[in-house]
Amino acid sequence: MSSSATGWINWLVSPGIFTYSFMQNAWLSGTIIAIVCGVAGFFTMLRGSAFAAHALPKIGFAGAAGAVWLSVNPLWGLSVFAVGGALGIGWLGKGARRDVIIGLILAFGLGTGALFLSFNNEYAAGAIALLFGQIVGVSTGEVIDTAVLAALCLALLVVLYRPLLFASVAPDNAEARGVSLRSIDIWFLVVIGIATAVTVPIVGALLSFSLLVGPAAAASYLTHRPSHAMMLSVAIALLSLWIGVALAYDTGWPVGFFVATLVVIAYAVARITAQWRVSRLSRVAPAE
Partner 1 sequence: MNRILSFVFAPGFFSNEQVVNALWLGGVIAVVAGAVGVFTVLRGQSFAGHAMSDMGAAGAAGSLLAGGTAVTGFLSFSVIAGALVDLLGVRPRDRDVATGLVLTAVLGLGSLFLFFDTRVVGAPEMILFGSIFDSEPSLTPILSGLALLMLVLMLILYRPLVFSSLSAETAGARGVPVRLIGFIYMLLLAVSVGETALIVGSLLSTALLIGPASTALRLTSRIGRAIPLAALIGLLCTWLGILLAYDSYYWPPAGRGWPVSFFITGLVLALYLASRMWPQGAPTRALAD
Does 57 contact partner 1 by CB under 8 A? Answer: no
Name which of residues 241 to 270 contact partner 1 (CB under 8 A). 253-254, 256-257, 259-261, 263-264, 267
Is 179 or 207 the residue whose CB approaches partner 1 more closely? 207
- State which of residues 14, 112, 166, 269 lies at the interface with partner 1 (CB under 8 A): 112
Does 121 contact partner 1 by CB under 8 A? Answer: yes
Count of residues interacting with partner 1 (CB under 8 A): 52
Stretch that binds partner 1, among 124-132, 135-143, 155-163, 230-238 (CB under 8 A): 124-132
SS3 per-residue string spanning the chain: CCHHHHHHHHHHCCCCCCCCHHHHHHHHHHHHHHHHHHHHHHHHHHHCCHHHHHHHHHHHHHHHHHHHHCCCCHHHHHHHHHHHHHHHHHHHCCCCCHHHHHHHHHHHHHHHHHHHHHHCCCCCHHHHHHHHCCCCCCCHHHHHHHHHHHHHHHHHHHHHHHHHHHHHHCHHHHHHCCCCHHHHHHHHHHHHHHHHHHHHHHHCCCCCHHHHHHHHHHHHHHCCCHHHHHHHHHHHHHHHHHHHHHHHHHHCCCHHHHHHHHHHHHHHHHHHHHHHHHHHHHHHCCCC
Does 110 contact partner 1 by CB under 8 A? Answer: yes
Does 136 contact partner 1 by CB under 8 A? Answer: no
Does 102 contact partner 1 by CB under 8 A? Answer: yes
Name which of residues 140 to 179 contact partner 1 (CB under 8 A). none
Does 86 contact partner 1 by CB under 8 A? Answer: no
- State which of residues 57, 60, 84, 214 lies at the interface with partner 1 (CB under 8 A): 214
Nearest approach in angstroms of CB 148 to partner 1 is 28
Task: List interacting residues with partner 1 (CB under 8 A).
Answer: 45, 48-51, 53-54, 58, 92, 96-97, 99-100, 102-108, 110-115, 117-119, 121, 123, 128, 131-132, 204, 206-207, 209-210, 213-214, 217, 253-254, 256-257, 259-261, 263-264, 267
